[in-house]
Amino acid sequence: MSSVRVRAAGAVLWRRGPHGAEVAVAHRPRYDDWSLPKGKLDDGETVPAAAVREIAEETGFRAKLGRHLLTVRYPVASGPKSVDYFSAAVVSGAFEPNEEVDELRWLAPADAAGLLSYDSDRSVLAEFTALPAGLTTLLLVRHAKAGKRDDWSGDDDLRPLSPSGVRQAGALRVLLPLFGPDRVLAAPRLRCEQTVRGLADDLGLPVEHEDLMTEEKYWEDRQAGLARLLAIVSAGGTPVLCSQGGVIPDLVAHVANRGGVRLPVDEGEKVPSKKGSVWVLSFRAAPGNGGPQLVAADYLPTALPVPAASHA
């Protein structure tokens, strides 16, 4: 068997029905099976971008991504294959039969599980139904590369992105819209604002400054910073918040501990926050007046594309 590792992406595509969430199950005439939308990554494509593209090609629907569900691995003729699945909410569109899918059914999750042809798809669907479909997503972004602080002689607030940071910001400009952002916030540092300025321009939105998300202000009043993060989530929508490396690990660790969420890091390891990385944080409303509660956390260490196939 070849040592090439094939990467693919898919989703549980869902919409609001009269009796709750409905999920899409696709019939593929080539295999005569019922499956979740999925397909291989194109060259130069990120995993989230492939998931959204495959949804559009197979179902005709434009979707916005939510939390990562599962990574399914299995052997194929060209080598070991992995498929990353996301929750994906319908935004617009309509199904028309095509070469890949000749029928699409919208079903309650329990009915969909009975129709799906593969145990792996049923496992993905079970992960989707383990939490409510309609969660609030916060995209917490570490600013892109801006050179070394010691090499900058001016006001550190005005330290701009480096050429590699500009490339990272360009990749974020492509990646973040896949999650349907509708608000853009940043710590008032030039490098933070520049990281998300292109996204804001594309969305026709301002970049709102968040003083408590700077390292200095956050650690002057950590509780106020944590409360501010939860207030941003409580406002709804899908906010993007760009902050600094001295803030993000503590914020993520706090909301994870508060919600009882195990982070995708080894025990004892520091919460990662590479420059240009994204934490996809999924919240639901807590009972009573407890405020939003984190229920899932996914870390994207880079917005840059990965090879669609790599050698083991």
Judged by average pLDDT, the poorest of 207-221, 267-281, 283-297 is 283-297
Does the pLDDT at position 307 exceed 90?
no
Provide mean pLDDT across the span 95-116. Answer: 97
Provide mean pLDDT across the span 97-116. Answer: 97
Does the pLDDT at position 32 exceed 50?
yes
Provide mean pLDDT across the span 82-110. Answer: 97
| 20 or 269, greater pLDDT | 20
Do residues 274 and 301 touch, judged by C-beta distance below 8 A? yes
| pLDDT band of 155, cuts 50, 70, 90 | confident
59 residue type, one letter: T
| pLDDT band of 312, cuts 50, 70, 90 | very low
Does the pLDDT at position 2 exceed 60?
no
Residues shown for the chain: 312
Do residues 241 and 279 touch, judged by C-beta distance below 8 A? no
For the chain, residues classed under CATH 3.40.50.1240 are 136-300
CA distances from 157 to 152, 167, 215 (A): 11, 20, 11
Residue carrying structure tokens 């094939």: 6
CATH architecture of 136-300: 3-Layer(aba) Sandwich (3.40)
Do residues 177 and 302 touch, judged by C-beta distance below 8 A? no
Average pLDDT, the chain: 94
The pLDDT value given to residue 234: 96
Provide mean pLDDT across the span 36-51. Answer: 96
For the chain, residues classed under CATH 3.90.79.10 are 4-129
Pairwise CA distance, residues 1 & 224, whole Å: 56
Provide mean pLDDT across the span 109-135. Answer: 97
| pLDDT band of 1, cuts 50, 70, 90 | very low
Nearest to 189 by CA among 229, 227, 226, 149: 149
CATH architecture of 4-129: Alpha-Beta Complex (3.90)
